[in-house]
Structure 1
Amino acid sequence: MTQSLRRSHAIPFLATVLAVLAVAVLTPLFIPTPLLAQQSLAIQGKVTDARTGEALPGANVYVSELTVGSATDRDGSYTFLIPASSVRGQQATLVVRFIGYKQKTEKIQLSPGIVTRDFALQEDVLGLEEVVVTGTIGGTFKEKLPFSVDRITSTDLQHVPANTPESAIRGKVAGVKIIQGSGQPGTAPAVQMRGATSVNTTGRSGGPLYIVDGVILGSSTVDLDALNIESIEVVKGAAASSIYGSRAAAGVVQITTNRGAHLPDGETRVTLRNEYGQNQLANKIPLTKAHHFKVNTARSDSPWVNYQSRTVARSARVSDTLWRIGPGGAVGSAFTSFKDKPYPGKTYDQIDEFFDPGFYYSNAITVTHKSRNTNFLLAFNNRRDAGVIEGNDGFKNQTMRLNVDHKFMDAVNISLSGSHSNSVRDDNNSGFFELTFMPPDVDLRTPNDDGQPYLIWPDPGQSLEANPLYSQHFREATTTRKRTLANLTTRFAPEKWFDLEAILSYDRLDDNYSNYYPKGYKTVNATTLNTGTLSKSNTGIEALNGSLTASLNYDFG
């Protein structure tokens, strides 16, 4: 009896075990996807200023071991998911970074569920915890660098907007001089990282090495819209040569553009920016309003007279001189004249005749987006700068940029950057020397005898200088510039202590210059320009750079 009872209980027990195994195997096939997602880990919280308690939008929060994270929204809140494949109950480090504040970390356990962590960040007055990338293999804390790196953030750039990256550095980096070569629109300023009294003249003879999103530029001109800059890092002196060699002897300016990585997951942001202004001559040159010629102010038809006080034409006027009397009453050859007589009749301000306040405008549209594994920036800018010279077309520029980052898996990240710019600059900027020799009683806008605008020789008999407005009207000199930049970066980090980075960059620059004098072009003295000339020159610069970097990081402490 006892034996039969044992057999009857064994059968239900075995059936129960088989049923449990069947449920364990078949359940994942029938459970809805949202229920499976519950095995992942959700990390959320808020980031604030420790002193004021205000929210910090745009702070980066991520798990360092997985490079998974997000940015805080306008309320300082953040939330992101750790996929179930990475949730194994292990310890990890949650990192919070924000420009101008000290980094903060906290250990968390990666287990299914929800983890809430709030952070209050302290201001970093000295900026020693900023991470820089210039002159180092990878991102390095500022306090650990053996040399000085100056970093300009997008916040600094927004306070004082600039048209060019070079101008954006002005007044923000100690020891760096930004020298505007000329007032011609479209001319980039020179960046001088060593002073005029430096013993080493390398920094004065050449500009720094420019790097834009990993692209080493083949020329010293940066064709980039300053509105798209995320940060600028400047390294002065020989320290810049630690990675880039002798070509960086005059320093390095590394520019990182916005990529949309600071946005919260799932957000798309469209930014429109329009600027309009007027250019004016900064320092007006004061020209004399008096003359040194002999005059007879009593005559209304022609006040000019010769040495016998007889009325003469303007072209025959003579200087009112004080002759030197030698021994015995002999008249010497040396004489002195003074410009102390006001010009009779109507006078003109030649500076106002030549220079004309021109308009300036810039239209820009930027689209940024971030999803869980992808972020991108698409930007377009249209700029026009007419300058301040009468009849000069100034500078026109259109720029387009695309930045894309994508994470294929936890260990592989690919970044793609590309930009193209097209600009046209009016290089007919001569005439300043002639302008300073024009007397105020000459009208530069007097037409020629054939009725065409601007008399070529407005002051015959007294000066050999041509009318600067004539050249501005008839001569055509333009520089057309096209620039293409591309960069592909692949980063493979299978372990926390090891990563492999491959960079391939391309830079193509085309400069086309055209100088045209039409047939019948007038000059003071006969030259070959009178029959008309056309000259063209083309310059092409192409640079291809590649690098492969392996980094090993291990903490023995």
Structure 2
Amino acid sequence: MRSFLLFCLFFALFWAKAAAQQQVTGKVTDPRGEPLPGVNIIIKNTSTGTVTDVNGGFTLNVSGDNAVLLFSFIGYSPAEVPVNGQSKIDVTMKEDLQNLDELVVVGYGTVKKSDLTGSVTSISSTELKAVPVATFDQALQGRAAGVQVVQSNGVPGGGTNIRIRGTTSVSASSEPLYVIDGMLINNNTSEMSAGGRGPSLNPLSTINPSDIESIEVLKDASATAIYGSRAANGVILITTRKGKAGKASINIETYYGSQQVTKTLDMLNATQFAELVNEASVNAKLAPVYADPASFGAGTNWQEELFRKASISNYQVSIAGGSEKTRYALGGGYFKQNGIVTGSDFGRYSFKLNLDSDVSKRLKVGTNVSYNRMSTNGVLTGPGNVVQGVVTNALMFNPILPVYDPSRPGGYTFQHDRRDAIANPIAEAKEYEAITTTSRVLGSVFAEYKIVEGLSFRSSFGIDALNTKSNTFGPNFLKRTENSKGEASVTTLQALTWLNTNTFNYTKQINKDNSFNVLLGLETQKFRNESVNAYAFGFPDARTGWHDIGSAENPQTTSNGELQWSMLSYFGRINYTLKNKYLFTLTGRSDGSSKFSEGRKFGFFPSAAFAWKVTEEDFMKSVSAIQDLKFRVSYGRTGNQSIQPYRSLALIGALGQGVFSTTGQEVIRGREPVSYPNRELKWETTDQLNAAIDLSILKGRLDFTIEAYNKNTIDLLLDTPIPYTSGFDNTLLNIGNVRNRGIDVAISSVNLDGKVQWNTSLNVSVNRNKITNLARKEDVNLGVGGNILREGEPIGTFYGYVFDGIYQTDEEAKNSPAIAGQTPAAGDRKYKDINGPAGTPDGIINDFDRTIIGSAQPDFTWGLNNNVTFKGITLSLFFQGSQGNQMVNQNRGDLANVNGKQNVLAEAGLGRWTPENRSNKYARALATANDNVFSSRFVEDASYVRLKNITLGYNLPGAVLKKIGLANARLYVSATNLWTLTDYSGYDPEGNAYGGTTNIVGVDFGGYPQAKTYTVGLNFGF
């Protein structure tokens, strides 16, 4: 009887629970009736949920009559539907055309897009994935107004130069601050690279682009002042993928592609070069060098030998899901890019975990951690080496000579026979090893506690740990190692940054017309690195390489170094909204940095912003043509502390040369001052005024944002000459000002939204850079590519003689001004006699005849993206360009110098001046020619229009997906750098051999060309 009663009780409880549950089915579609697979559906206030299948259908067991279903999907407005006893619920989700309720990440928080008072541009993961790239910074090019991204070379894993609203510094860094999931990233190459004798590291190459969910670019002072002393160059906020409540999803992304050089230069072949050499010798009254030029035929095409078709591949797997209380995202990937230059490649393994959990109604905890390991095999491609780089050498090397010479050690032709300094580029590329391996752990943990309603406290601790090892080896049979008889080096670097951030956040809705949000924070950060460099000369056995550096015959002194810096910061922000029309933001941050002098370590960086949502006014309610109109204005101050530590101190180092002891039997190494102290050293400070209009019309189909800004950088950190009586020739001073003024325009449109959907986005950036004050009134000659710093001119100004053609007769040459020490004749170059000391032509070509001959600053840059969708077919076309900038083609110093000592461009060699071919562009062939002065003949228009990417994709239909058991699948083909329109004669109008510097810009000198890439990809999920 007792058992029977228990059974009845259990049955009653079960029946009551079953009766309280009901099964709800339905379908989710878009406004055109097309099914939406992958829509997240959650029962409100529970962890129960599901996702729609390939046909947009779903089934869910619901308890209680008051249950509410929450529908969410990227690109669509969220929907909230009460069940009310319904067994079938069909939902049509509306496209979020305006995205005004979309949350935008800002410093230490988020804000609705409609409530932004600062200048922020958002870039989605879809845009980032449109172009196959090794690093995410490469994918930013042309995506945001006011953000100039220059791909200075095509080195696998190589970096870019990013300038947000112009260059603000000449000695400190002009790169933006990067913040990844709240962690402030150190992107200072000199602090985060092993250096030594190997290839330099792009710190951003350790970040996997596939882990990124979105990027926000903060541009004006209102948006950036919360980061204070590091925000003068703008801030790039990176948010990685996070899990969402609902059914676990597995996604796999992969592509494979082929790369090739976008362009080769037309050089003289072997016969043509031999003819040029003979003519140059005869014109110099020397005997011809080659008896039968025609016998050499075409000879060796050194570019074909150096460049190769190279593969690029990417494989990514991610798993995401969770409940309403705990969410997770886990991913891993492998990326491999072989370089188009023989001997170069880049590879990266990556792992990422994001996890957050609501421990209780008040406490939330979480962590995100990533591990990336990358390896770079570099080649010598740029200036500054003993040999000027394999690309330059391939252009200049004698085409008569073969690549290989079996009679020599190593089996390669040793060197160019017309100029001793030119090494065999194939031997250097294949045999000189320079391998850098880097491991980076980037992660943080956080806890967020809700103290009372509206008030929360959040504390996080993050680390950025980097370990780099760089190994190089050059065997003794290379030209580069001719004097050292073989060389090897091993360099290691350990760098650690830790960051602790603590914030209070209080939000209060006082009444329907007044609300505010207050953020208060305390942040501490510390960085330390330590490096060791061992290298040696003399390796008679090339088999051991760097693996046995101790076996070298001539070991060198081992060196090591370490540095550290720390910061302490206090910051706060107040957002106040009045009647949902008037938005006010006040921000302030006080930063203290160990890099600066006592008494000047702290700086305060405030900002204020106001926005007026005009469309919320009563008089705008009847204006149906305008959906959104907002005016924004902001003013604030930010700083720059991106200099090496200890620059304010008097440092002591070892004597460059030792001194003999009193007995003369030993050398004593003493100590000496190595830097002049500056007790007044402080921040660079940038003040910025920003005014903007946001406009949305035609029911959100056409959006405009127009912004004007004025940035003034004062207390410019500049290496400045000081009197030699100090014992030094220069020191770092706060002397100089730079101004950037400009306009950013962003336009997006929905052109078609029927069966064929067509969206367009355009951004245009105009910036005017000007040095308004320098430490001295005379120019600062930077010594490279004619670059100078001059008050009243922009950074990137070129200075030199004005090329005026070719002397056509000896009489003209005799009666014309000439450079001192030269006696020109017919066929030689001539230059304009601009003025003498009195400001008038004086018949002499000297320093007074040099003038400004160009600028690397563009008139404007732009990006244009079109996306077309028809059923499952998608087509995207992304154009990007720059107009009005000029480039110093430093290669022309050799490649247009027809003296017969190196190979030259076919245009110059075949078009050279002769009595029968009176060229006014290229000089005569002359073996003794020594005219290579820097002039306007080196400066070219580098404007370009580039089809950066074209992608054609196909999304498999629901019926097919259902049969093969997939939630989604997309197949696509893509081409990058497919077409470029430019008048620039070099490899690439973007190329900049000195891309890592701030003040030397627009100089092309033997850089690594960019690649044209074709890829095929497949993305699918379960």
Deviation at 1:484, TM superposition (A): 0.2
1:226 aligns with 2:188: no
Aligned with 1:394 (options 345, 353, 359): 345
Say which is worse superposed, 148-157 or 378-387, in terms of deviation. Answer: 148-157
Deviation at 1:272, TM superposition (A): 2.8
Q: How does 1:213-292 map to 2 (within 5 A)?
A: 213-219=181-187, 221-222=203-204, 223-261=206-244, 265=246, 267-289=247-269, 291=272
CA distance in 2, matches of 1:164, 1:228: 11
Deviation at 1:417, TM superposition (A): 1.0
CA distance in 2, matches of 1:149, 1:538: 36
Contact 2:119 2:220 in 1 (8 A): no
CA distance in 1, matches of 2:377, 2:344: 6
Aligned with 1:361 (options 309, 313, 316): 313
Aligned with 1:477 (options 399, 419, 434): 434
1:321 aligns with 2:296: no
Deviation at 1:434, TM superposition (A): 1.9
CA distance in 1, matches of 2:511, 2:70: 21
CA distance in 2, matches of 1:116, 1:494: 41
Residue type of the alignment partner of 2:404: R
Aligned with 2:414 (options 452, 456, 459): 456
Provide the residue aligned with 1:536 in structure 2: 491
Deviation at 1:511, TM superposition (A): 2.2
Deviation at 1:399, TM superposition (A): 0.6
Distance 1:172 1:346, change over 3 A: closer
Distance 1:549 1:159, change over 3 A: same
1:189 aligns with 2:160: yes
Distance 1:477 1:34, change over 3 A: farther
Residue type of the alignment partner of 1:209: L
Say which is worse superposed, 491-500 or 433-442, in terms of deviation. Answer: 491-500
Aligned with 2:123 (options 134, 137, 152): 152
Contact 2:463 2:499 in 1 (8 A): yes
Contact 1:60 1:98 in 2 (8 A): yes
1:172 aligns with 2:123: no
Residue type of the alignment partner of 2:487: G
Contact 2:322 2:328 in 1 (8 A): yes
Provide the residue aligned with 1:431 in structure 2: 390
Distance 1:103 1:275, change over 3 A: closer
CA distance in 2, matches of 1:81, 1:500: 37
Contact 1:508 1:540 in 2 (8 A): yes
Residue type of the alignment partner of 2:252: L
Aligned with 1:375 (options 327, 332, 336): 327
Contact 2:123 2:216 in 1 (8 A): yes
CA distance in 2, matches of 1:230, 1:67: 26
Q: Secondary structure at the match of 2:280?
A: coil
CA distance in 1, matches of 2:355, 2:42: 19
CA distance in 2, matches of 1:433, 1:155: 38
**Residue deviations 1:317-357 (CA, integer Å, cap 9, x gap):** 6735347xxxxxxxxx899x9xxx76733511110111222
CA distance in 1, matches of 2:63, 2:229: 46
Contact 1:521 1:532 in 2 (8 A): no
1:446 aligns with 2:405: yes
Contact 1:485 1:506 in 2 (8 A): yes
Provide the residue aligned with 2:33 in structure 1: 53
Identity rate, percent: 24
Q: Secondary structure at the match of 2:396?
A: coil
Contact 2:457 2:502 in 1 (8 A): no
1:100 aligns with 2:75: yes
Distance 1:123 1:256, change over 3 A: same
CA distance in 1, matches of 2:453, 2:170: 41
Contact 1:103 1:129 in 2 (8 A): no
Deviation at 1:396, TM superposition (A): 1.7
Q: Secondary structure at the match of 2:411?
A: coil
1:208 aligns with 2:176: yes
Contact 2:101 2:113 in 1 (8 A): yes
CA distance in 2, matches of 1:394, 1:260: 33
Residue type of the alignment partner of 2:303: I
Larger Rg: 1
Deviation at 1:535, TM superposition (A): 4.3
Q: Secondary structure at the match of 2:359?
A: strand
**Residue deviations 1:239-277 (CA, integer Å, cap 9, x gap):** 332432221222222222222316xx3x23333333222
**Residue deviations 1:395-422 (CA, integer Å, cap 9, x gap):** 1211111122223233333222111011
Gaps of 5+ in 1: 1-22, 296-303, 305-316, 324-332
* Structure showing greater relative contact order (alpha-carbon pairs closer than 8 Å, 6 or more residues apart): 2
CA distance in 2, matches of 1:371, 1:55: 25
Q: Secondary structure at the match of 2:485?
A: helix
Contact 2:328 2:353 in 1 (8 A): yes
CA distance in 1, matches of 2:256, 2:376: 19
CA distance in 2, matches of 1:498, 1:117: 38
Distance 1:53 1:419, change over 3 A: same
Residue type of the alignment partner of 2:341: I
Distance 1:218 1:63, change over 3 A: farther
CA distance in 1, matches of 2:327, 2:407: 62
Using the size of structure 1 for normalisation, the TM-score is 0.73
Q: Secondary structure at the match of 2:248?
A: strand
Q: Secondary structure at the match of 1:280?
A: strand
Aligned with 2:336 (options 371, 384, 393): 384
Distance 1:195 1:288, change over 3 A: farther
CA distance in 2, matches of 1:127, 1:334: 76
Aligned with 1:73 (options 16, 39, 52): 52
Between Structure 1 and Structure 2, the one with more strand by share is: 2
Using the size of structure 2 for normalisation, the TM-score is 0.42
Say which is worse superposed, 348-357 or 361-370, in terms of deviation. Answer: 361-370
Between Structure 1 and Structure 2, the one with more helix by share is: 1
1:138 aligns with 2:109: yes
Q: How does 1:6-17 map to 2 (within 5 A)?
A: none
Provide the residue aligned with 1:309 in structure 2: none
1:415 aligns with 2:366: yes
1:491 aligns with 2:466: no
Deviation at 1:32, TM superposition (A): 4.5
Contact 2:118 2:223 in 1 (8 A): no
Deviation at 1:503, TM superposition (A): 2.4
Deviation at 1:372, TM superposition (A): 4.9
Distance 1:134 1:31, change over 3 A: farther
Provide the residue aligned with 2:818 in structure 1: none
Contact 1:515 1:535 in 2 (8 A): yes
Residue type of the alignment partner of 1:141: K
Distance 1:41 1:550, change over 3 A: farther
Deviation at 1:513, TM superposition (A): 1.9
Q: Secondary structure at the match of 2:296?
A: coil
Say which is worse superposed, 209-218 or 138-147, in terms of deviation. Answer: 209-218
CA distance in 1, matches of 2:366, 2:479: 57
CA distance in 1, matches of 2:432, 2:376: 14
Residue type of the alignment partner of 1:447: P
